[in-house]
Amino acid sequence: MKKMLLLVTLVAVLVPLFAVSAGAQDVKKALSDYVLVPGSAPVMAIPFKPSPDKAKPPSYCKPCLFYTGDFNSSSSEANGLFNAQGGALGSNSAAVYGAFTVPKGKTWTVTALIINTLSNASAVDSSCTWDIRKGVTAGNGGTDVATGTGADTWKATGRSGFGLTEYTNKVTLKKSAKLKAGTYFMNVLTSCTTSTCTEGSSGLFYESDQESQPGTNQYGPNMPWDDSFFNSSYFGYTYALTNGSSGPCGGIGCDQFSIAAQGTQK
């Protein structure tokens, strides 16, 4: 499961690797498990903006509380971590929890949670689950603050990497979550369990990482670095820190993920 494939000719072998690794028996937890050195070969479908623009949020996040920034496929640290219910994992799941902080003295009313995901599926289930936790540490899931299901949208960002297209996965909360100042951990669990998911049992879903501070096209306050977690009994991880050589990403990237929250602040 954890053995990396040797990098021969990256561009020529990326797509075949995904084609033969689509079954749940050999699906890899991180994009770094497919290639020895990610980055460089993946391309973006739209021009890359090298400097952050904190004045303008992404079009899909209005009103936007924060956005950590874009996935950069040209980075040597570019990576992604499996995050989904179903797809190539069958009845199993794998969840990435990205960290965010509500500023001191503020209260956020969150109405939607957003993640960017590298995938081979052009459509997913029309609803998915979401979760917000507090106090997560290595091996400890902390406390559930708010959780539920909601209507899900799946739209291409115009970026790509590792032979996969990047999509924005946005779930609208049926009941908004009110969060006081502090650090929280959010998960949007992409769902690929019905016929509405175009790739079915071959579905690959890797939450995009974000490897610069500040992030490219970041909006809002800086968010925690090296404080994201991966939880999946299928892969044998219980709320493991995603970064570092002993983490699920194998020491390649995953310092932060491309995530956002929509809502209001007071």
- The pLDDT, as a whole number, for residue 51 is 44
Task: Tell me the three state secondary structure of residue 12.
Answer: helix
Q: Is residue 46 scored above 60 in pLDDT?
A: no
Mean local confidence (pLDDT), 129-134 = 98
pLDDT of 50 above 60:
no
**112-125 residue pLDDT tens:** 999 999 999 999 99
Q: Regarding predicted confidence, which is higher, 53 or 10?
A: 53
Alpha-carbon gap, residue 39 to 20, rounded angstroms: 21
164-189/127-134 β-pairing: antiparallel
pLDDT of residue 49: 43
Tens digit of each residue's pLDDT (9 = 90 or more) over 234-258: 999 999 999 999 999 999 999 999 9
Contacts (Cβ under 8 Å, ≥6 apart) of 251: 243, 244, 245
Query: What is the band of 54 on the pLDDT scale with cuts at 50, 70, 90?
Result: low
Give the list of residues 6+ apart from residue 194 with CB closer than 8 angstroms, or none: 125
Tokens of 7: 């990098």
DSSP string of 105-138? EEEEEEEEEEEEEEES-S---SEEEEEEEES-BT
Question: Looking at per-residue confidence, does 42 or 170 come out higher?
Answer: 170
The pLDDT confidence band at residue 35, using thresholds 50, 70 and 90, is low
Grade residue 143 by pLDDT with cuts at 50, 70 and 90: very high
Q: Determine the pLDDT at residue 55.
A: 64
Q: What is the identity of the amino acid at 210? A: Q
Q: Coil, strand or helix: which one is 89?
A: helix
The answer to whether 22 touches 200, Cβ cutoff 8 Å, is no
Share of residues in the chain with pLDDT > 70 (%)? 83
Each residue's pLDDT tens digit, 191-200: 999 999 999 9
Q: How many angstroms separate the CA atoms of 45 and 133, rounded?
A: 34
- Does the pLDDT of residue 170 top 80, yes or no? yes
Residues 66-99 have pLDDT tens digits of 999 999 998 999 999 999 999 999 999 999 999 9
Q: How confident is the model at residue 18 (pLDDT cuts 50, 70, 90)?
A: very low
Q: How far apart are the first and last CA of the chain?
A: 46
Radius of gyration of the chain, Cα coordinates, nearest whole angstrom: 17
Q: Using CA atoms, how far apart are residues 74 and 78, in angstroms rounded to an integer? A: 7
Q: What is the pLDDT of residue 165?
A: 97
Mean pLDDT for 39-58 is 50
Given a contact cutoff of 8 angstroms between Cβ atoms, the answer to whether 128 and 190 are in contact is yes
Cβ neighbours for 203, distance < 8 A, ≥ 6 positions apart: 22, 84, 86, 87, 88, 119, 120, 121, 124, 192, 197
Check residue 56 and give its pLDDT.
Answer: 87
**pTM across the whole model:** 0.85
**Average pLDDT score, the chain:** 86
